[in-house]
Amino acid sequence: MKNRLYFGIACTVTIVLTLSLVRLYPGIVRNRIISPLGSLTDPLTQQMKLKYYAWAPWWNPEDVTASMEKAAGRLSAVHPVWYKVNGDGKIEEIPARNGGEIRQMASASGIPVMPMISNEFDPERVSRILSSADLKSELAVRMVEIARNNGFAGWDIDWEQIAEKDRDAFTEFISYLKPVFNGTGLSLSVSVHARTGTADEWKLAKGHDYRGLSIYADQVRVMAYDFHNATSVPGPVTPKNRLEQAIRYAKANIPRDKLVLGLPFYGYDWDSRRGEPLSRKQLLERIEKNTGTWEYDAEALAVRGTYTVKGVKHIIWFENTASVTEKIRIAEKEGIFMFAFWCLGGEDPLIWESLE
């Protein structure tokens, strides 16, 4: 009985909030934004035509802008890293020097802009929001308001390292946002850590409930990277065996028409202590400057390089066109047809010519 009562109250609150938003922003409904993700539920569009999305960070603005120019004809949406939730649980804009250029290029190419809102890897911020009805309501209202004022087509929620204890509350929050976004013509995607379902699965990935989130989100984006990272031993960012495990788990828990596979464009430079995430361009510059070597490892589906500075050996792993396209081919064989790349500015510039 309690569960039914709580469910009824939650539904009532959600409906009231949605109606309030519609009254506040009637233009959103009358001039409904065409959702770049919502059309995926139309059976007529559920074909195997590959779709590509990309995150656009605020750093390295010149490289990101140059990448956006090359990628524009291939992208179904772009996700600028322009917003975050701060320590108080409020939405905050991240200044981006190339924001105007990204908007202009997206508009000229007819590419929907769906900003990413992050938690800066801080699970406490997420807990604070999820435990407060006021913060959740305020965040929903502000997201709609910001989208309306800027012509955004929706949002990508990238809240990482969520505590396992907040798993259900996070899914509930996405269910809370769904009718609000749907009622205002906005799309909603959620980015999640890659899960494998294996005994050695990263524990911080367990805060994302694939099945629950896929009920409410228009897309669930599985970030299939960072299996080797700044604090691990050197190795491919997305090893072939880990990619295959992530694909199997995702396919078993996310409907095909909502599943987006996130793939890396970047790499790491490890010294004797830890790794540093860098773009392909930055890594190749270090190898060249220090007379290092590199070669493509077909088994690992990545490029491996080495160089030495002041007696310290550096090991590098990164992506190129061959590694990315081969990962896409593996996923495509498994019925996956949507891909998101982290991130613009980090890639092999030839990649865009190779994508269908």
pLDDT tens digit sequence for 116-126: 999 999 999 99
293-313 residue pLDDT tens = 999 999 999 999 999 999 999
Average pLDDT, the chain: 90
Report the domain count for the chain: 1
Which domain, by its residues, includes 52? 2-19+48-266+320-354
Residue 207 placed within a domain:
yes
In a domain, 72, yes or no: yes
| CB of 217 closer than 8 Å to CB of 259 | no
Q: Which residues contact 115 (CB under 8 A, 6 or more apart)?
A: 79, 80, 81, 82, 83, 152, 155, 156
Burial (CB count <10 Å: 0-12, 13-18, 19+), residue 310: exposed
Nearest C-alpha neighbor of 14 from the set 151, 159, 173: 173
Environment class of 13 (CB within 10 Å of its CB; exposed 0-12, middle 13-18, buried 19+): middle
pLDDT surpasses 50 at 42: no
Q: What is the pLDDT of residue 199?
A: 85
What pTM was estimated for this model as a whole? Answer: 0.89
Position 198 scores a pLDDT of: 86
Q: Is the pLDDT of residue 19 over 70?
A: no
Instruction: Name the amino acid, one letter, at 346.
Output: G
Instruction: Report if residue 326 sits inside a domain.
Output: yes
Give the rounded percent of residues in the chain with a pLDDT score beyond 70: 87
Residue with tokens 């890293």: 81
Contact between 302 and 317 (Cβ < 8 Å): yes
343 lies in some domain: yes
Residue 314 lies in a domain: no
Say which CATH number the domain at 106 has: 3.20.20.80
Phi and psi of 84, rounded to 5°? -150, 165
**56 domain residue, yes or no:** yes
Task: State the pLDDT at residue 205.
Answer: 97
pLDDT of 27 over the 70 cut? no
Inside any domain, residue 347: yes
Count of helix runs (H) and strand runs (E) in the chain: 12, 14
Token digits of residue 211: 């099945």
Determine the 3-state secondary structure of 297 from DSSP.
Answer: strand
Q: Measured between alpha carbons, how far is 352 from 28 in angstroms, rounded to an integer?
A: 34
- The answer to whether position 277 is within a domain reads no
pLDDT at 3 over 50: no
Q: Are strands 259-264 and 219-223 parallel, antiparallel or unpaired?
A: parallel
**Crossing angle of helices 2-24/167-183, nearest 10°?**
40
